[in-house]
Amino acid sequence: MVARNGSIPIRIQAIRIGDAIFVSMPVEPFAEIASSIKAESSFENLIISGFSNGHNAYLSTTEAYEEGGYEVDVSPFAPGFDQLVTSACLNAVSLVE
């Protein structure tokens, strides 16, 4: 995953329990990111969990970098990182569907 000054590996996990899939990541994603993952997935009962297996930082949307603010200022991630995480989450979901 791309960071402002190099790379930061993060672990994305998906687990299916019955008719639900839980997707976990060690960041605090903006609500728009969780909504995007749910919208792009074909699985109906998808639950997004941040702060899982650690906590790296806030995961801002690319658009939030233009607006600025606390979450963007303290995040080590570069604009576009949200799209990489969304893709990784959707890939994890596809492995357990």
Tallying the residues shown for the chain, one arrives at: 97
pLDDT bracket for residue 4 (50, 70, 90): low
HSE (side-chain half, CA atoms, 13 Å) at 56 = 20
Delimit the domains of the chain by residue range: 2-96
Q: Map tokens 């995480």 to a residue.
A: 85
Q: What is the structure's pLDDT at 31?
A: 96
CA distance 66 to 61: 10
pLDDT tens digit sequence for 49-75? 999 988 889 999 999 999 999 999 999
Given this model, what pLDDT does residue 54 score? 86
CA separation, residue 77 to residues 71, 73, 74, 93 (Å): 11, 10, 9, 23
Can you give the pTM of this predicted structure? 0.90
**Phi, psi at 96, each rounded to 5°:** -115, 0
